């Protein structure tokens, strides 16, 4: 679980440097994989986890559509993932 989140954080840093929108697709895929595993394997997964999952996907989608500032968006995503690991 921690390894997958560190992979997501690495992809986020990669996107910040290169600004390639393909990275957003990979980030979305990794987030989906992490949350699928979390929801299937963890007994303590709750509606909060589902809300966080939807929130991350919404942020990434809005970044693609509206070309939002990635600095604030990724900070929010990192905070959500950090809270999820607690």
Least Cα distance to 35 among 10, 52, 60 occurs for 52
pTM: 0.85
User: Cβ of 60: how many Cβ atoms within 10 Å?
Assistant: 20
Measure the CA–CA gap between 33 and 48, rounded to whole angstroms: 17
In DSSP notation, 25-46 reads HHHHHHHHHHHHHHHHH-TT--
> Hunting for tokens 């968006």 — which residue is that?
73
Q: Could you give the percent of the chain with pLDDT greater than 90?
A: 37
Mean pLDDT of 4-33: 89
Q: What is the mean pLDDT of the chain?
A: 87
Q: Is the pLDDT of residue 42 over 80?
A: no
């Amino acid at each position: 679980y921690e390894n997958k989140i560190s992979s997501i954080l690495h992809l986020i840093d990669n996107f910040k440097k290169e600004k390639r929108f393909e990275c957003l697709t990979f980030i979305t895929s990794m987030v989906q994989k992490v949350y699928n595993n979390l929801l299937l394997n963890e007994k303590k997964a709750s509606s909060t986890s589902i809300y966080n999952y939807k929130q991350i996907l919404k942020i990434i989608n809005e970044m693609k559509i509206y070309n939002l500032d990635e600095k604030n968006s990724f900070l929010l995503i990192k905070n959500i993932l950090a809270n999820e690991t607690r």
